[in-house]
A and B are shown apart, each in its own frame.
Chain A
Amino acid sequence: MEKVRSHLMLCSGTGCVASGTAKIKTALDEELRKRGLSDEIKIVLTGCNGYCAEGPVMSVYPEEIFYQRLTVEEIPNLVEEHFLKGRPYQKLMFREPEKKAAIPAMKEIPFFKHQVLRVLRNKGLIDPEKIEEYIARDGYQAAAKALTEMTPADIIQTVKDSGLRGRGGAGFSTGLKWEFASRVPSEVKYMLCNGDEGDPGAFMDRSVMEADPHSVIEGMIIGAKAIGAHYGYIYVRAEYPLAVKRLRMAIDQATEAGLLGKDILGTGFDFELDIYLGAGAFVCGEETALMRSLEGKRGMPRPRPPFPAVKGLWDKPSVLNNVETLAQIAPVILNGAEWYRSLGTEKSTGTKVFALTGAVNNVGLVEVPMGIPLRTIIYDIGGGIRKGKKFKSVQLGGPSGGCIPEHLLDIPVTYEDIVATGAIVGSGGMVVMDDNTCMVGTAKFFLEFTADESCGKCTPCRVGTKILLDMLTDISEGKGKEGDIETLQDLSRDIITTSLCGLGQTAPNPVLSTIRYFKNEYEEHIHQKWCRAGVCRNLVTFQIDEKLCKACGACLRACPAKAIVGEKKVPHKIIQELCVHCRTCYDTCKFKSIMILPAGFEGDPQEFLEKNAVGAKEEK
C-alpha cells in the first residue's frame, strides 16, 4: 500500500450526496492537484457518516478532525490552512450552539461523543465499494469462523445468548427465529434481508447498506449457515438506488472472493445471494407481504400461522431479518454473546441505531447502547431543541409508534419501557417535536401515511384508518363534535384488535398516544375551536400583545397577506379580516408578542392564555 500523509474520509451517503459531495470531491481533487498534494493526501468516499444535517461532512485521518457544511468556495482555504500550513481550518468545524467554540475532533463533538458504534462500526472509515477495506476491518472473519468452527447450533446458541432482538420493529429474538427455521426440515430454505425501510424519516438501514454493505452480506451468510439455507434475497426498495448499487457491487466482490456462491471458503457450504427491488409499499416491510412481493405477487400480508419459518417464500421455510439486525451478527459471532450483552439491559441488549430528526439541533443517525435515557439522546446527542423552543414530545417508532411527552423523558430506551408509554422502539425513527407542533396534526400526519399505505386487504385497517383520518381532519378543521374523542379511541382499539397484520394493529397508535398525553389539545380543538400551536388554520386567531410588541416591524414585513399594520414605536396590529392564519408573524417575532387564540376569539387574551396555560398531562 502506498504511504499517504492523510486520508480524507468524505461522506458519500445519500444525504451528503444530495448536499453536494460530488462537487466537493471535484473541488478537492482539483485543489490538491494544484498544490501538488495529490500523492500525499488521499480522498476516500465513505458511506453515511450519520451527521446528515451538517453535510457534506468529511473527517481527516489520522487526526480525526471533522469538517462539516463543506462548500466548494471554502475548499481552497481548507486545503491551504490544513494541509499546507498544518492549521486545522476552524471555519468549517462544528461549533457548540451556545458557547460557539469550535470543536475539531469528531469524538469530542457531542453528537458523536455519546454514541457507541457497533452496527455503524465502519461508517466513515471504509470505502464501501471496496471489499478489501471491509476485510481490513475484520470483515468476513466472523463468517469464516461460523463456517469453519461452528455448527448451526453453536451459531444459534451464540445469537440467542447475545439477546439480540430484531431491529425491524417487533423486537423478536433473532436467535429464536433462526432456531425455528433451522428445525423445519426442507431441502430449500431462504435467508432473506428486509431492506424495505418504510417509516417516514427513518434511514438507518439505508445508511448501513450504503456505508457497509458487506456487513449485511456477512450476517446473511452466517444466518444461512445457521438455518441451512442456500439461497438468499435482499429486498430493497427501488428508491434506494445507491444502496442497491453498493449491495450489487458487494455481492459481486464477495462472489468473486469466494465468500458467496458454491463451496464458500472451501467449506462445502453454498449460499447464493441476489437483490430484489421492491416498489416501495410500506406494507411490504411486513414479512409475509414482503415474501408475496418477492414472489412477484401483490404485496399483501397473509395470516400467520403458518409462520415464515415454516412456510415463507414460495412456501419454503424462510427467515427474514432486518438490515440492522444482520449488520450486528458478525461482531456477535466474533466477540461472543457476553461482549454483546455488555451493553444494554437484561432484556434489551446491545446498541440500537436511531434516526434522530425534528426540532433538535443535531439531526442524523445515532447509535446508542440500549437503556440510556431518552433525554440523553435528545439533549446531549441531539443538542436540545432548536431555536431555544420548548420540547413537547418525541414520536418513536414512526407511524406505528406513539408520542412520549416531557415527563417521561427519563425512561430508559428499552423495548419494554417504550411500549409501556404507548410508543414502540420500532425501527428507530425518533422525531422530536417542539411546542409549535399540533398534536392533532401529528396524529393526522401519521394516519395520512398509514391510510395511504394500507394494502386494503382487511376491513379494519382499510376502512378504519380512513375513518380515523377523516375524523382527525374534521377535528383539525373545526368540525369536531362532542364524543369524537371517545369514538376515536373506541375505533382505534377495535382496529388494533381486529387487524390482520402489524400495519393495522399499530396504525392507530399515534391517535391513542396523542389522546393519552395531549387530550387537552383535542378538547381545545373540538370545544374551544383552538389550536394552541397555531397550526390548524381554522382554529386560530393571531393577536399582538401590545405590551410585548417592540414595534420592530419584522412581522409586518414578513406577513404574506399584508394583514399587519403599524409604524415605528406604535405596537402593531393584525387586521383579522386579512389574516390567513399562516403563523409567519408568530415564527418571526423575537419578543413573543404574538398570541395564538381560538378562532373568533373575543375577550381578554391574557386572561384566556393564563387560564389555559397547561402543559401535557397524562390522562387519568
Chain B
Amino acid sequence: MIELIIDDKKVSAEEGSTILTAAKTVGIEIPNMCYDNRLRPYGGCRICVVEQEGNPRLLASCSTPVAPGMIIRTDTPKLRKVRQTVLELMLVHHPLDCPICDKAGECDLQDIAYEFGKPEGRFIRHRKQMPPDVRGPLIELTANRCILCGKCVRICSEHQGRGALGLIGRGFPTVVQPAFGEILECDYCGQCVDICPTGALLSKPMKFQARAWFLEEKDTICPFCGCGCTLTIGTREGKILRSRAKEDNGRSEGNLCGRGRFGTDYIYSENRLKTPLVRKDGELVPASWDAALKYAADGLAKIISENGGDAVGAIGSQRCTNEDNYMLKKFMSNTIGSANIDSSAAFGYSKARKALNMAFGTADHAINMKYPLGKEAILIIESDLSITHPVFALNILKAKREGSKLIVADSRNTKLTRHSTSQLRMNAGTSAALINGIMKTIIDRGLFDRQAASSIQGFNELEQGLADYTAEKVSAITGIPEADIAAAAESFANAKSRMISLTVKMSENSKGMDTVLAAANLANLLGDEPDSLQIPAEYANTLGTVRMGVRPDEGSKGIAGMLYESSLRGMIIMGEDPASTYPFSSKLQSVLKSLDMLIVQDIALTETAKLAHVVFPASGWAEKEGTYINAEGITQRLQKIIDTQGQSLPDWQILRNLSLAMGREIGTRKIDGLQQEIKSSTHAGQPPQIRRAFHSMKHTSGEAPSAEYPLALVARDILQHSGSMSTRSKSLDLVVSEPYLEINEEDAVRLGLSENAHVKVSSRRGTIYLKAKITDEVPAGSVFTSTHFPHGRVNTLLYYPEDMTSNTCAVKVESAKG
C-alpha cells in the first residue's frame, strides 16, 4: 500500500492505482470526462488535473499513479481556473443544444459546465459543423456534440473487442466515426451510449421519449442470458422506455449487451395476452379467469380420476422466476400427484449437469464471471460466448488483454477466435474428438501427473479409449492440422492455471453431454478443480429452474418422454414454446395435439399456446416480483417495475389459483411467504464431496452428411437474439428479424446461390425456406442458422438425440427458384 495525502486526508492506496481512484476511496471526487474504470488511462480530457506539492506541473489524476508521500490538492483556485479554460475549450465542440438533447439532465458535460462554467464562453464561434449520423438502427451519432473524450472508441475496441468506432482525422477536425464513414454496424451493445459523457451517442428507440428528469429508474435483473446483469430500467408514466447500466452496478459491473439494453421492449409485444382464453368449438376465445380456471381444473381432474396424476406432465421455464417454478413443481406433486416435470434445460444445461455429476460427483456447477481473469491458458470449446453470455465473455477478452493465452476451437470465426492467441478451426460437432486428441497428446508426452490421474476411477479405460485417438485420426475428424492440436495441448497442459469454457444450449446442436464429459476428463487428467470447467447456465433462471426441482426424477418423465412420445393425456406448459423452439417440431406438435388437456401460461400467444385448450395470460418479467439465480448461482431480486398488462397474473399465482380451483390450497397469497418457504425447502446443506471419475468418450458424429443430405446444419445463436423472447423486441428486430442460412462461398458457388437468395433447406424431418448469407466466416461443408425466430421454423429440421450427444443435422440446400 502506498501512503499519500489528498486534500489533507491521509490515503493509503494500492500500488499502481491512480490519484483519481485513490481519491475516490476517501470520498473525494475529481471531475473527469475521459476516465472509465474498465479502460486504460487515457489522459485526454485534462479536466481531472490536480496539483502536487513541489511539482510545477499539473498532473492528470486519471493517469498518474500514486507515489509514496505525494501531497495532492484537487480543488484550488489555480485548478478551478485551468479547468474552466479546458471546459471552455470543450464547449467549443459542443452546441449547447440541451433543450433538444435526450442527455440533458444526466449529462456529464452539463454537470461539469454547471460546476466550473463561466457565464461567457470566449471562443464559441469556432465550432465545427457536422451532420448527425442517424443511419444505424439503434444508435445515433451526433458529431457536433462530441467532445472527443474517446471513451466510445475505447470501450468498443479495448473492452468489447469490436472496434466499430474510430477517431478519424487529427487535430481540431477529428471526429468519431465508423470506419470509412459507413453505417455503424456493430454488436449494438450500446456500451458507447452509456459511456458517452455528452449526447453525442444516443439510443434511437429512446429518442425524444422523455426528459431524463421525468424518468423513474429502478434496478432489476436482465431476463435474457445467465449472466444476470443488473438493468437500470427507466420508466415514465408506467411505461418502460429504456434500460441502461450504471457504473460498477451489479454482477455485470456496469456492462450490458444489446439484448439487455435494447431488448426489454419485448414486454410490449403486440401479441401479449390480456385475458384467459379457452377453446370453444375448436377456437380459442377470451374467457373470465373463473371460467378458464374451472375449465382447466375440470380437464385435469378428469384425467387424474381416469388415468392418475402420472398422465399429466408439466414444463417449467428457465425464464420464469424461482417462485413460479417452485410453485409449478409443488402444484404437480401436491395437486396433480405427478413427478413428470422438466424444462427446456433438458436440451441444454441439464446435459452439462449430468455430465459434471458423472465426472466430479457434484451437479450444481455455478460459474464465476471473474474466473477467466489471471488464468494463464483459456480453452474455449466451440462456443461463441461473446454472443451467448456477452458480459461473461468480456472477462475472457480482458484476461486475454492481460496476458492469458486464449485457445479457441471453433468451426467458424467469432469474436473470440479473432481475439485468440491460437485458433483451432475445426469441423462442427467434433469437440469430443478434439479433446480426446489433446488428452492423448498430454498422456503421450507425459504432460500430467500420472500418479494423481491414475488414482481416479476409470483412468485405465480412458487411456485405452484414447489409444484410438491418434493425431492422424483426430486431425482427420476435426480438420485441424496435427501440429496445431499438439501445440494447443502443450501450451494448455504447461500453463500454471487453466480454464475450459463452453456452452451447452438448447439453441445449439454441435455439442452435447459427450463434449462436457470429454472436457471434464481433460480437467481431471490435469488435476484441475471442477471449477476450471466454466459452463454457464444458459438463461436468466436456468439454475433456479433446476434448483426448484423442475427436472425429472428417476422414473418420471422428462422432455423426451413427455413430448416425443404419446404417453400423457394432459400437460401444463409454463413460459415455454416447445412448438417452435424445441427441435423436431413436427413430431412434438403432433404429440401436443393429441393431448386431452393442454394448459399454456405465457405472456404471449405462442405457437404452443395456439394448440392449447386453455391459455392463461402471465405477467412479464418486469411486471412481477420474484428472484432469479444467475449462472454464478447468485440469487438476485427482480423488481416490479410496471403494472401487469390486461388481466395477466404472475405464473405462481395462476398455479395457486388453479390449485384452488381444483380444491387445494397450496401456499400463501403473498410472495414473501412463498420466498420464505423456498428458502427453507432449498436450504443448502454441506457442500458435496468431489468424487472424480473418468468416462471414456467416443466421438459420435451426429447425423452424418450423406449423398442426399450433404451439408451439416449447425444451429448457433446470433448476437441480438437468444430465443423467442428476444424476437418479440421491436428494437432487436431492427437489427435482425429473420433467420438466415450462413453458407461458405465455395458451397454457394457450387449450388449457384447469390447473396440473399432464397434457399430451400431440407432434412430428413422437414423443409424450410431461408435467405442465404454468403460468408467466409463459416467453413465449407457446414451451414449455420439460428433457431430463434418462430416463423423461421428451423426446428422443423432438427432432431433430439436420445443419447444427449451433439446433433448436427444433415441437410440439403437448394436454390428456391427451381
**CB pair B43 A500 closer than 8 Å:** yes
Pick the residue among B64, B82, B126, B166 that contacts A498 (CB under 8 A): B82
**Residue A456 interfacial (CB < 8 Å):** yes
- Residues of B88-120 at the interface with A, using a CB-CB cut-off of 8 Å, are 89-90, 92-93
Q: Is B31 an interface residue (CB 8 A)?
A: no
Give per-residue flags for B498-539: 1 if the beta carbon is below 8 A from chain A beta carbons, else 0: 000000000000000000000000000000000000000000
Q: Are B89 and A463 in contact (CB under 8 A)?
A: yes
Return 20 A-B CB contacts under 8 Å, by A number.
A298-B166, A302-B41, A303-B41, A303-B42, A303-B63, A305-B64, A305-B65, A456-B148, A456-B169, A459-B44, A459-B47, A459-B89, A463-B89, A466-B92, A466-B171, A467-B89, A494-B82, A498-B46, A498-B49, A500-B43
Docked CA distance A497–B174 (Å)? 22
Chain A interface, >50% SS class: helix
Binding site for A on B (CB under 8 A): 41-47, 49, 57-58, 60, 63-65, 81-82, 85-86, 89-90, 92-93, 122-123, 126, 147-148, 150, 166-167, 169-174
The answer to whether B49 and A467 touch across the interface, beta carbons within 8 angstroms, is no
In the bound assembly, the distance between CA atoms of A305 and B60 in angstroms comes to: 11
Report A472-491 CB contacts with B as 1/0, cut-off 8 Å.
00000000000000010011
Q: How far is the CA of A458 from the CA of B149 in the complex (A)?
A: 8
Kindly list the 4 A-B residue pairs having the minimum CB-CB distance in the complex, ordered from nearest.
Answer: A456-B174, A303-B43, A303-B63, A463-B89
Report yes or no: A466 in contact with B174, Cβ–Cβ below 8 A: no
C-alpha gap A303/B42 in the complex (Å): 7
Contact between A463 and B90, CB atoms less than 8 A apart? yes
**Per a CB cutoff under 8 Å, which of A283, A464, A497, A500 touches B44?**
A500
Closest to B125 in A: A470
Tell me, rounded to whole Å, the shortest Cβ–Cβ distance linking A293 to chain B. 12
Which residue of A is nearest B122, CB measured? A487
CB nearest to B126 among chain A residues? A470
A306 and B43 CA atoms in complex are apart in Å by: 13
Task: Judge whether A460 is part of the interface by a CB distance below 8 angstroms.
Answer: yes
Cβ-defined contact, B86 with A462, below 8 A: no
In the bound complex, residues from chain A placing their C-beta under 8 Å from that of B47 are: 459
* Chain A residue contacts of B41, Cβ below 8 A: 302-303
A282 to chain B, nearest CB (A): 10
When the two chains form their complex, are residues A497 and B58 in contact, meaning their CB atoms are under 8 A apart? Answer: yes
Q: Chain B contacts of A302 at CB under 8 A?
A: 41-43, 63
Contact partner, A460, options B81, B89, B122, B174, Cβ 8 Å: B89
Known: A466-B171, A500-B60. A458 touches B43 (CB 8 A): yes
Beyond A458-B46, A459-B47, list 12 extra A-B contacts (CB 8 Å): A298-B166, A456-B167, A456-B169, A456-B171, A457-B44, A459-B46, A459-B90, A466-B171, A467-B126, A470-B123, A498-B49, A500-B60
The residue that A466 contacts in the complex, of B81, B126, B166, with Cβ under 8 A, is B126
Q: Which of A281, A283, A306, A500 has the largest number of chain B CB atoms within 10 A?
A: A500
Which of B43, B46, B93, B148 is packed against the most chain A CB atoms within 10 Å? B46
Interface string of A438-463 (1 = CB under 8 A from B): 00000000000001111111111011
Which residues of A sit under 8 angstroms from B173, Cβ to Cβ? 456
> How far in angstroms is the closest Cβ of chain B from A228?
21
Q: Taking A303-B60, A303-B63, A459-B45 as contacts, is the C-beta distance between A498 and B171 under 8 angstroms?
A: no
A498 contacts across to B, CB distance below 8 A: 46, 49, 58, 82, 85-86
- Residue A174, interface by CB 8 Å: no
Residues of A within 8 A of B93 (CB): 463
Q: How far is the CB of A326 from chain B (nearest CB, A)?
A: 28
Residue ranges of A at the interface with B (Cβ–Cβ < 8 Å): 281, 283, 298, 302-303, 305-306, 451-460, 462-467, 470, 487, 490-491, 494, 497-500
The CA-CA distance from A586 to B174 in the complex, in Å, is: 42
CA distance A500 to B46 in the complex (A): 8
A462/B148 contact (C-beta < 8 A), A451-B171, A454-B172, A498-B85 known? yes
Name, among A298, A462, A465, the residue most crowded by chain B CB atoms within 10 Å (CB to CB): A462
- Contact of A494 (CB < 8 Å), options: B86, B92, B174: B86
Whether the Cβ atoms of A453 and B171 lie closer than 8 Å is: yes
List the A residue with the shortest CB-CB distance to B173.
A456
- Whether the pair B85, A456 counts as a contact (CB closer than 8 A) is no
Known A303-B43, A458-B46, A497-B58; judge A466-B122 contact (CB<8 A).
no
A395–chain B nearest beta-carbon distance, Å: 22
CA distance in complex: A467, B44 (Å): 18
Residues of chain B lying within 8 A (CB to CB) of residue A465: 171-172
Contact A462 B57 (CB under 8 A): no
Interface of B is mostly: loop
A298–B238 Cα distance when bound, in Å, is: 47
Chain B residues contacting A460 (CB-CB under 8 Å) are 46, 85-86, 89
A452 to B173, CA, bound (A): 9
Residues of B contacting A303 with CB < 8 Å? 41-43, 60, 63-64
Q: Which residues of A contact B89 (CB under 8 A)?
A: 459-460, 462-464, 467
CA distance A465 to B174 in the complex (A): 14
For A458, what are the chain B residues with a Cβ–Cβ distance below 8 Å?
43-46
Within the assembled complex, what's the spacing in Å between the Cα atoms of A491 and B87? Answer: 12
Give the residue name and chain of the B residue nearest to A305 (CB): B65
Q: A462–B167 Cα gap in the complex (Å)?
A: 13
In angstroms, Cα B174 to Cα A55, docked, is 41
User: CB distance A451 to B64 under 8 Å?
Assistant: no
> In the assembled complex, which residues on chain A have CB atoms less than 8 Å from the CB atom of B167?
298, 456
- CA–CA, A462 and B149, complex, Å: 11
Q: Is the CB of A455 within 8 A of B86?
A: no
Give which listed residue, A281, A466, A487, A499, contacts B172 with CB less than 8 A. Answer: A466
Assuming the contacts A451-B171, A466-B171, A498-B58, asked whether A491 and B44 have C-beta atoms less than 8 A apart, the reply is no
CB contact under 8 A between A459 and B171, given known A303-B63, A466-B126: no
B69 CB to closest chain A CB (Å) equals 16
Q: Which residues of B contact A463 (CB under 8 A)?
A: 89-90, 92-93, 123, 126, 172
The distance from the CB of A77 to the nearest CB of chain B, in whole angstroms, is 52
Residues of chain B within 8 A of A455, CB atoms compared: 170-171
**Docked complex Cα distance between A471 and B710 (Å):** 72
Task: Looking at the assembled complex, report how far the CB atom of A499 sits from the nearest CB atom of chain B, in whole angstroms.
Answer: 7
Determine how close the nearest CB of chain B comes to the CB of A468; give it in whole angstroms: 10
| Residue among A298, A453, A497 making CB contact with B57, cutoff 8 Å | A497
Contact check, B64 vs A462: say whether CB atoms are below 8 A apart.
no
How far apart are B173's CB and chain A's nearest CB, in angstroms?
8
Contacting pair A462 B46 (CB below 8 A): no
What chain A residues lie within 8 Å of B82 (beta carbons)?
A: 494, 497-498
Nearest chain-A residue to B65 (Cβ)? A305
Q: Are B85 and A491 in contact (CB under 8 A)?
A: yes
CB-based nearest A residue for B175: A456
User: Nearest chain-B residue to A471 (Cβ)?
Assistant: B123
Verify A451–B43 contact, CB threshold 8 A.
no
Q: Are B171 and A467 interface neighbours, CB within 8 A?
A: no
Report the separation of the CA atoms of residues A533 and B399 in the bound assembly, to the nearest whole angstrom.
63
The residue on A at minimum CB distance from B91 is A463
Central interface residue in B45, B89, B92, B123, by most chain A CB within 10 Å: B89
The answer to whether A451 touches B44, judged by C-beta atoms less than 8 angstroms apart, is: no
Q: In the complex, which residues of chain A have a beta carbon less than 8 angstroms from the beta carbon of B42?
A: 302-303, 457
Residues of B within 8 A of A499 (CB): 46
> Cβ of A497: which chain B residues have Cβ within 8 Å of it?
49, 57-58, 82
**Residues of the A chain whose Cβ atoms lie less than 8 Å from the Cβ of B148:** 456-457, 459, 462
A15 → B minimal CB distance (Å): 29
Residue of A nearest to B18 (CB): A303
**Which residue on A lies nearest to B45, using beta carbons?**
A459
A463 to B86, CA, bound (A): 9
**Nearest CB in chain A: distance from B56 CB, A:** 9
Residue of B nearest to A494 (CB): B85
* Residues of B with C-beta under 8 A to A457: 42, 44, 148, 150
Nearest to A501 among chain B residues (CB) is: B43
B86 to chain A, nearest CB (A): 5
Q: A494-B82, A500-B60 are in contact. Are A462 and B126 (CB under 8 A)?
A: no
Determine the distance from Cα of A172 to Cα of B571 in the docked complex, in whole angstroms.
Answer: 81
Pick from B44, B81, B174 the residue with the most CB of A within 10 Å.
B44
B180 to chain A minimum Cβ distance, whole angstroms, is: 15
Q: Is the CB of B171 within 8 A of A462?
A: yes
